[in-house]
Amino acid sequence: MLKCPNCNSKDIGKIGPEQYYCWGCFIELSYKDEMLSLHQVEEDGSLSSLDDLFTDEERKCDGASF
């Protein structure tokens, strides 16, 4: 089961191919090359990356979670 690296919530919804949304902390997660990318959705709808806040280890995901 996919777990949000930011808030550890398992309340993750799928919003597109390899794109997910965390309902725990309202961030967007995308999955590529066995790594999760995290984005915060701003009020104007733009995305700002949160990847800098996490280590590679925290963002790594083997894909079996999905």
Helices (H), 1-66: 56-59
Among all residues, whose Cβ is closest to Zn ion?
4
Give residues in contact with Zn ion (CB under 5 A). Answer: 4, 6-7, 9, 22, 24-25
CA dihedral 44, 46, 50, 51 (to 10 degrees): 180
Secondary structure letter of residue 23 according to DSSP:
T
Shortest reach from residue 51's CB to Zn ion, in Å: 14
Shortest reach from residue 54's CB to Zn ion, in Å: 12
Shortest reach from residue 38's CB to Zn ion, in Å: 8
